[in-house]
Chains A and B, each alone.
Chain A
Amino acid sequence: MDMKVAAKKLGLKERYAAMTRGLDWETTYQPMDTVYPYDKFEGIKIHDWDKWEDPFRLTMDAYWKYQAEKERKLYAILDAFNQNNGHLGVTDARYINALKLFLTAVTPLEYMAHRGFAHVGRQLRGAGARVACQMQALDELRHAQTQIHSLSNYNKHYNGFHDWRHMHDRIWYLSVPKSFFDDAVTAGPFEYMVAIGFSFEYVLTNLLFVPFISGAAYNGDMGAMAFGFSAQSDEARHMTLGLEMIKFMLEQDPANLPIVQGWIDKWTWRGVRMLTIVGMMMDYMLPKRVMSWKEAWEIYFEESGGALFKDLARYGITIPKCVAQATIEKEHITHQAWTTFYQYGAAAAFNTWIPEKEELDWLSEKYPNTFDKYYRPRLEYLGEQAKQGKRFYSTTLPMLCQCCQIPMFFTEPDDPTKICYRESDHNGEKYHFCSDHCKEIFDHEPEKYVQAWMPVHQIYQGNCFKPDVDPTAEGFDPLAAVLDWYNIQFGRDNLDFEGSEDQKNFDTWRQTAKSNG
C-alpha cells in the first residue's frame, strides 16, 4: 500500500530562495555578457552575486497581500476626505500651492523611479538584486498612482493642477527635478542604485518627507498625509536596498571604492541642490510650519547622515566633501530660492507671495545669523512695492547652472553678498555653474552635460512655442507664447496669491461651509 506523503509546504524563506535563486540560470545559448550587457561598463567588479544579502525577502504573494491591505486603507481615507470637502479644512489656500509644486515636480519622479528600477531589475546579473529592484519598481508605480489620485481632488477646485505631466517636461523650474532623474536613469545600473537607491532614498528622503508629509498633516491635509504614510511604509525597504547595494559593491572588490565614492559625492550634491525647492516649501509655503529647513538639515542630515557615514567608514567611504558647503548654505538657500520664484511668479504654475509679518518674525528667529542681515530687508521692500501696486515681476530670463539647471542665485560659501560663478571650457564652448561641485560633475563627464536641455536657452532658440506660432509676426509676445506652450493660464495659475482666484474661492467656500450667508 502506498503511503501518501503530504507535500511539505515551503516556508517563506524557502519560497523566497526558490524565487530568487532557484529560478535563475547561467545562459548557454547566449553568453551572459550579451544577456546582461549593461552591468560591466561602469567598472564595478562583482565576483559572486550569491553573496548578495536579500534585504526584503518578500515573495510576490506576500507583496500583493501586504500592499492591497494598504491600498484599501488609503482609499478609504481619501474617499472620506473628499466627500467631506476636506480641502476646506486646510490651514490656508496658500498651502495648496505646495501641492501644485509636489504634483508637477515630485510625482513624475515617482514614475521615473518606477522606470529606473524596472530597468535595473532587468539589467543586474544577480537574481536577488533583480527581484528586489522589481519590487521597488512596483512600489514607485504605486506611489505615482496614489499621489495622482489623492491630488486629483484638488484639481476639481483649484488652479494649476490641470496638466502636471505636460508641465513637467516643459516648465523652466521643473527641468531641475526632471534633469536630476534623467541624469540618474541614463547612468549605468550601479550608478542608478547609488543615485536613487542610496543617496536619494537613504540620505535625503527624510528631508523630503518631513516637509511634505508632516507639513501636510500639520496643515490639515489628510489626503496628502494618507498617500505620504502609505508611501513611507515602503521607504524602509527602499533604504535597506540602497544601503545593501553600497555594502555589496564595497565588499566585492576594493577597486569599487573610488567609483562608489565618486557617485556618492555626485549624488549627494545633486540631491542637496534639488532639495532647495523642498527647503523653500518648508520655510515659505506652509502656513503652519513644522520646522525650519535649517533645523531639518541639522537633524536629518548632520545627525542621521553623519551616523550613516560613520557606519560606512569601515569600508573606506568618507563623508562627501560637498557637505561642508551645504552646511553653510542651510542658512541661505531657502530665502534665495523663494525670492527667485517670487520674481518669476508670472512664469510659475502656482501663486507666490511675501510672507506676513509674523512669518517674517518666525524666519528671523529661526535664522538669527542671516535672515535680518541679508534677506528680510529684501522681502520687506518687495512687500511694500506690492502694496503700492508695483509687484515685482522679472521679464528677463535668468542664467542657469549647466548641471543642476537652477537659476544662478547661490552665493559664494564665504560671502553671501556675492553670486557664485564658476565656468569650464569644453571643446571651445563655455559652460557655467552655480558651485564647485556642479562644475566638478560636469568636468567628470562633459559629453553628458553638454546635451542638457536648458529651459532658458531653449526658449531663446525658439523651441518653446506652439507649432503654429509665428515669432516674426508684429507684436509677438514671446513670454505669453511660452506660457501658452506650458499650458499655464495667465492670471489664474500664476501671479501673486493676493487677489488670486484660489484665494477668493477658498474664502468664499469656507464662509459658505461655516455659515448660511
Chain B
Amino acid sequence: MAVVAVQAYTGEVRDRVENFHGNQLLYIGWEDHLMIASPLAFLFPPTMRFGDVLEKALPNAFGVHPEWEKIDWNQAQWFKSGQAWTPNFNQTLAENGLKHKDVLRFRTPGLTGIKGTCS
C-alpha cells in the first residue's frame, strides 16, 4: 500500500523536473568539510558543461572555506549516490548522465577541514 487513505490515490509529484522551467536539481556535498553544514542544492540547465559547475558555481558556494584554494582537482574523487563516479568536465550534465535530483559528493584527499576536524 503506497498510502493509507480513505481511497487509493496517486500523489502529485511536486518536484518533477517539468516544474523547474528547463533546469534540473543537482545536489553537491564536499566530504570532510562540514563548516558548510549540509550538501547544497543547485539549479542547472542539463546543457551546462560540468566544468562550469566546478569553475563557476562551486566557488561561490564552497569558496569561503579556508581549504578551498588548496584543492588539487586532479586528485579529487567523485561519488554519485555514494558510488565512485568519474565526470567528464567538457561534457554537459546530461552527457555525463546526470539526472534531475542526482546527488554528487567530492572528496579532496589530504584535506581534512579546520584543524583536522572535518569541519
Contacts and interface: CB of A to CB of B under 8 A. Distances in A.
Interface-centre pick from A398, A408, A447 (highest chain B CB count, 10 A): A447
Contact of B103 (A378, A397, A423): A423
Query: Top 5 closest A-B pairs, CB basis?
Result: A417-B118, A378-B119, A447-B3, A447-B11, A396-B61
A374 B119 contact: yes
A461 B43 CA distance: 9
Interface string A365-386: 0000000011101100110000
A339 B99 CA distance: 30
Contact of A398 (B34, B40, B66): B40
A456 B10 CA distance: 23
Contacts of A38: 6
A278 B36 CA distance: 22
Interface string A328-350: 00000000100110010000000
A195 B5 CA distance: 16
Contact of A374 (B6, B10, B118): B118
Contact of B100 (A41, A378, A407, A430): A430
Contacts of B60: 395-396
B2 A398 contact: no
Task: State the main secondary structure of chain A at its contact with B.
Answer: mixed
A381 B118 contact: no
Chain A interface residue number, banded: 35 or more
Prevailing SS type, chain B contact patch = loop
A446 B8 CA distance: 12
Interface in B53-105: 60-61, 64, 66, 81-82, 99-103, 105
Given A374-B118, A419-B31, A448-B3, 8 more contacts: A392-B35, A396-B60, A408-B29, A409-B37, A411-B34, A419-B38, A451-B12, A461-B15
A445 B105 CA distance: 28
A34 to B, nearest CB: 13
Q: Which of B41, B101, B117 has the most CB of A within 10 A?
A: B41
A24 interface: no
Given A396-B61, A432-B27, A382 B35 contact: yes
